[in-house]
A = this chain, B = another copy of it.
Amino acid sequence: MKKCQSFFFISQIAYLCRMKAEIITIGDEILIGQTIDTNSAWLGEQLHLQGIRLNRIITISDAHQEIIRAVDESFSRADLVLMTGGLGPTQDDVTKETLAQYFGTTLVTHPEVLRGIQDFFASRGREMLEVNNKQADLPKDADILMNMRGTAMGMWFERNGKVLISMPGVPYEMKGIMRDHGFEKIRNYFKTEPIIHKTVLTQGLGESFLAEMISDWETSLRNEGLSLAYLPSPGMVKLRISGFASNGNAEAIEERIDTYITELRRRIPENAFGSDKQTLAEVVGSLLQERNQTLAVAESCTGGLIAHLITSIAGSSAHFLGGVVAYSNESKVNLLGVSAQTLASNGAVSEKVVKEMANGARDKFNATFAVATSGIAGPDGGTDEKPVGTVWISLAGPKKTVAKEFNFGKSRSRNVSISALAALNWLRNEIFNRELE
């Protein structure tokens, strides 16, 4: 309906576009804190990525009057209302009836939806109940957004150039409906300009430090009309680059973004480890797979987290042979072959011991590479010489074994997770550079 355009400025997005959206979340389980509303965060991010301004998120209970009031209010402020929840087959869920009434329509059985629901149950070998038949009763004057992952359909209502989309609250059903139909329909209806986003994942540089290192690159990128967002989490910073693809110049914009990404990776090759939804464990796994190499781990302070991250990736058994969680000194000696003498004279958290752990793991598992960690995760156990947060990481390869000392601060859980990421990223670099072979 409206032609919509947004512009990006330094460090924040200014939407010149007048199109606004609101989210209405229906659910008592959210109001009583039993469920955290992750749907709104996901929808908020997706709208933002499409250049649509989210004005408000409102959570209300599953009650007729509350729904009517909230929709009225949101329509008075916004062009697009995304509603989640309240579409279950039980009597508690009044959203469908309420919306049908609000938009002056009635519920009728949609035969193609009924067949879809019957197929859904049949394909899972589950018996279909009478209440599930009712889920095919949907508003006559709404577009049905088929739910391929469940039995509550999405519904698209229009009034005076404004749109309301109602979806079930189950996150993966809601996301499926938006990805399958919702976003495209929104783009077509509101004629929004597509925005292109690419994310570069970095490890090992703090947000401020990174920003300083790449400030001229960032300035040049912004001068070309692209925008940049820093998204930090413990041990990592994601950099998201965005650009508008107006007048069908999507390919040109994509190329321009890629040029900046190539330049960024050239500048911080040791830190930029991947893109978009990748994980470090996945990137390390692919590298090993490509080269037909294998990995083993020897973990003390990380206590199994590195193995857990690696084995969370399906198919990891092809390159990951296993590991030893050597929490006691005795197990470092017995399972990894660390010398009792080295332990006694250097202590477990030391360069020599961590190297012997890495060598031991490599030998015992007969792996190409091994990574080892030994540190003081906290909150107790620190000394003046080795304060809480001291972590030694070692990498062993066919030709060389190396080690580095780190300190990641005082929180036990941060220490453990940052150590695991630092170890995986260093390993990635060494596999790539082939300096241990």
Binding site for B on A (CB under 8 A): 12-13, 28, 30-38, 40-48, 54-61, 229, 231, 296-297, 299, 303-308, 310-312, 314-317, 320-328, 330-331, 334-335, 364-366, 377-380, 412-413, 416
Contact = CB atoms under 8 A, between A and B. Distances in A.
A254 to B, nearest CB: 22
Given A33-B42, A45-B33, A321 B330 contact: yes
A322 B373 CA distance: 13
21 contacts: A13-B32, A30-B41, A31-B55, A32-B48, A33-B41, A33-B44, A33-B47, A33-B48, A34-B45, A40-B59, A57-B59, A58-B58, A303-B316, A304-B307, A304-B325, A314-B380, A322-B324, A328-B365, A330-B365, A330-B366, A335-B365
A61 B36 CA distance: 20
Contact of A322 (B40, B57, B327, B366): B327
Copies of this chain: 2
Given A314-B378, A322-B324, A365-B334, A44 B57 contact: no
A311 B320 contact: no
Contacts of A307: 299, 303-304, 307-308, 325
Nearest to A92: B12
Contacts of A308: 303-305, 307-308
A58 B57 CA distance: 6
Given A41-B35, A325-B304, A55 B46 contact: no
Given A44-B33, A364-B335, A303 B312 contact: yes
